[in-house]
Structure 1
Amino acid sequence: MVQPPPPPDSRRPEPIPLTVLTGFLGAGKTTLLNRWLGDPALSDTVVIVNEFGEIGLDHLLIERVDEDMVLLGAGCLCCTVRGDLIATLEDLLRQRDNGRITPFRRVVIETTGLADPAPILHALIYHPYLVMRYRLQSVVTVVDAVHGAATLDAHLEALRQAAVADRLVLTKEDVARETVALRARLAALNPVAPILPADTPAEQLLGGLFGLDGKGEDVRAWLGADAMADEPEDGRDVNRHDASIQAICLTSEAPVPRPAFEMFLDLLRSGHGPKILRLKGLVALADDPERPLVIHGVQHVVHAPVALPSWPDPDRTSRLVLILNDLDPAFVQRLWDAFLGRPRIDAPDAAALTDNPLAIPGG
């Protein structure tokens, strides 16, 4: 159930911003990460990798702190995940709180090239302790401009990496013959994520919604909802190459009744949670419409909502952006409309929804 955020606790430390860096094998994650670590603004960062040997940071290593952690020349810490990611994140907090390592201000998790990022994001927003101490800000996915199209054709992991991203970074553009088709495919696969060059400043890539103190443009960029309005006029299916993964933006100009919103989320998550790769939004609830809730979820888990002190801009429209895998966007739209009291359901679909609200009409 979506509950109001707890009252501020002055004794609780501010959550530490966390970014997930992903991308398929050979896409250029290591090069991008090395560039980030050369930025003085990231000097108090912890980088989490799977094994030190898998990432080219050797020239930055200056001191081994313990078996699983080294200090980098850039002033950052780098630790390896030999077991469970949650255990690694908890251990970092213990060492930080006990003064055994220098306090860090940011965490970057670099996944393996074959990783499906959804379980990682699921862990980051599900664990009751980690959600208090870390705040997921952005998912940055690196895509190879030379081999990206072939990789998307051959590997589901690459599709998911692109689909859940907040920002897509296109590498090797200087040696690619052309990138127009790849850019169009990525935009269709994930219309809410901007496609940025590899030399984009680190802070622009790592930043996110949380901690922005109501900056309107950053909120709108995080949501990416404006991009959802750019539908093709000829009615063609822009997702024709990747029909299993599609995006949808649900809106409501009127404040949403809390019970209706909670029931909508509960029904969608319980019936189709594994098919929701990403969910994020800004929602005005009827009982507190001037303090919109920031909604952030993966699969059947939704992060504890964060209430902004006020609307970031004059637009009071509630917006929910979902990236779906093998789930009909039209069904999700009809479900949303039904809970808001504005059903637009044809007779056969209405019968299907009444008999089994968890079923996908026609699916």
Structure 2
Amino acid sequence: MSGHFSALLRAEAPHHGPRVPVSVLTGFLGSGKTTWLNRLLASPDLSGTAVIVNEFGETGLDHDLLTAAAPDDVVLLPNGCLCCAVRGDLVQALGALMDRPGQAIQRVVIETSGLAEPGPILRTLLLDPLLSPRYRLGTVFCTVDAVLGQSSLAQHPEALAQLAAADEVLLTKLDLIADPAQTAPLRDCLAQLNPSATVRALGPDGVDLLRQRLLAPGPDLAPAPGPAFYHPLAAPPTGPSHLADVQSFVLWRDEPLDLDGFAQWLDLVVAAQGEKLLRFKGLVQTVQTPEQPLVVHAMQHLFHPPAYLPAWPTADHRTRLVFIARGLDREALESTLDVMARRRRPRRPT
């Protein structure tokens, strides 16, 4: 049976008109999501932005705190986890926003609960047949408390899942730190756990920075080039920690890989080890199109549609596969990839 990634490779790209970008704002409890979102929505050029707030508990409050947004532009989804039980509500809310009369929605921001893992949201946006023709995934932002962020990551797996899903990591509450150098250990931790994310400090110009990111076309799914993209995980903090078995590593290949063979290998990895994958990104040089890198991007069992870049971003054309995982056997991955590469290597004429 063909795997998910193989099926995506064979699927023809759908022909749709412009789709509305949906950005996701995640972050652990108390990291400042609502505060910064409220400031952001006051920007005049962000009119036409709808907000979906997902809160934990029976009574939501954060949606009432978004004073900068028009009441009709804010939708509350209760029961914080955005799991299967409320995924239908998310589909319904996005459908209602698109179909409502009046000013057309230009973009959507989903603010998750501080206890929510973003995976179900991303799966819904990418896979739901009613949403995918009308919406596309924008940037995934993750707010991290500059004071308590490192302890949250060490103690709460939800915080780690939020960080792993992020394209942009936003450091908040910097005004509570006397010396900016005190954030160095946290920055190192963030870079080690999600080396593909951009870390930005939300200082006095934070609103302008966020506004620019929301107005931008979308995130670049290509990993940063070069060896600097690899950061071995440092020793975890002392005491109980969920970081102890988290790895961040890169598999490199100098020779182009056969596309079908790579797809089958990736299908097997995700089928057998998908629950251990927090995040996976890669630039792949294939035998079929060596001058155009294939961008692959997945979280657990969920793949973004693969896409080709028009050209390599640098002179380095090596394949690089970046894993953020919990308890994944790197040596087994490398050995099985080696076996696939040898079996699929083009035969030289005799």
- The normalised TM-score by structure 2 is 0.78
Aligned to 2:198: 194
Instruction: Please state whether the residue corresponding to 2:51 is helix, strand or coil.
Output: strand
Could you tell me how far 1:180 is from its partner in structure 2?
Answer: 1.9
Instruction: Provide structure 2 residue ranges, at least 5 long, that are not aligned to the other structure.
Output: 1-5, 79-84, 238-242, 344-350
1:109-148 pair list within 5 angstroms? 109-148=110-149
Aligned to 1:352: none
Do the aligned residues in 2 keep the contact of 1:23 with 1:29 (CA within 8 Å)? yes
Do the aligned residues in 2 keep the contact of 1:281 with 1:295 (CA within 8 Å)? yes
Instruction: Please state whether the residue corresponding to 2:67 is helix, strand or coil.
Output: helix
Q: Separation in 2 of the partners of 1:42 and 1:253?
A: 45
Instruction: Please state whether the residue corresponding to 2:132 is helix, strand or coil.
Output: helix
Residue 30 in structure 1 maps to residue 34 in structure 2: yes
- The one-letter code matched in structure 1 to 2:162 is Q
- The one-letter code matched in structure 1 to 2:121 is I
Aligned to 1:92: 94
Aligned to 1:79: 75
Aligned to 1:322: 323
Distance 1:180 1:264, change over 3 A: same
Q: Separation in 2 of the partners of 1:118 and 1:7?
A: 23
Aligned to 2:62: 54
Distance 1:159 1:94, change over 3 A: closer
Aligned to 2:287: 286
User: Aligned pair count?
Assistant: 316
Do the aligned residues in 2 keep the contact of 1:247 with 1:323 (CA within 8 Å)? yes
- Equivalent position to 2:12, from 3, 6, 27: 6
Q: Separation in 2 of the partners of 1:23 and 1:154?
A: 14
Could you tell me how far 1:150 is from its partner in structure 2?
Answer: 2.3
Instruction: Please state whether the residue corresponding to 1:14 is helix, strand or coil.
Output: coil
Do the aligned residues in 2 keep the contact of 1:246 with 1:324 (CA within 8 Å)? yes
Deviation track 1:173-229 (CA, whole Å, cap 9, x = no partner) reads 121252222222222222222221114411454478xx57xxxxx748x52454754
- The one-letter code matched in structure 2 to 1:59 is T
Instruction: Provide structure 1 residue ranges, at least 5 long, that are not aligned to the other structure.
Output: 63-69, 72-76, 213-217, 343-363
Distance 1:190 1:45, change over 3 A: same
Do the aligned residues in 2 keep the contact of 1:296 with 1:305 (CA within 8 Å)? yes
Could you tell me how far 1:172 is from its partner in structure 2?
Answer: 1.1
Residue 20 in structure 1 maps to residue 24 in structure 2: yes
RMSD over equivalenced CA pairs, Å: 3.0
Could you tell me how far 1:29 is from its partner in structure 2?
Answer: 0.6
- The one-letter code matched in structure 2 to 1:111 is T
Aligned to 2:3: none
Could you tell me how far 1:327 is from its partner in structure 2?
Answer: 1.4
- The normalised TM-score by structure 1 is 0.76
Q: Separation in 2 of the partners of 1:291 and 1:4?
A: 17
Aligned to 2:223: 223
> Which region of structure 1 is more displaced relative to structure 2, 193-202 or 17-26?
193-202
Instruction: Please state whether the residue corresponding to 1:331 is helix, strand or coil.
Output: helix
> Which region of structure 1 is more displaced relative to structure 2, 163-172 or 285-294?
285-294
Q: Separation in 1 of the partners of 2:215 and 2:276?
A: 27
Distance 1:254 1:30, change over 3 A: same
Do the aligned residues in 2 keep the contact of 1:225 with 1:321 (CA within 8 Å)? no
Do the aligned residues in 2 keep the contact of 1:291 with 1:309 (CA within 8 Å)? yes
Could you tell me how far 1:4 is from its partner in structure 2?
Answer: 4.2
Q: Separation in 2 of the partners of 1:311 and 1:132?
A: 29
Instruction: Please state whether the residue corresponding to 1:223 is helix, strand or coil.
Output: coil
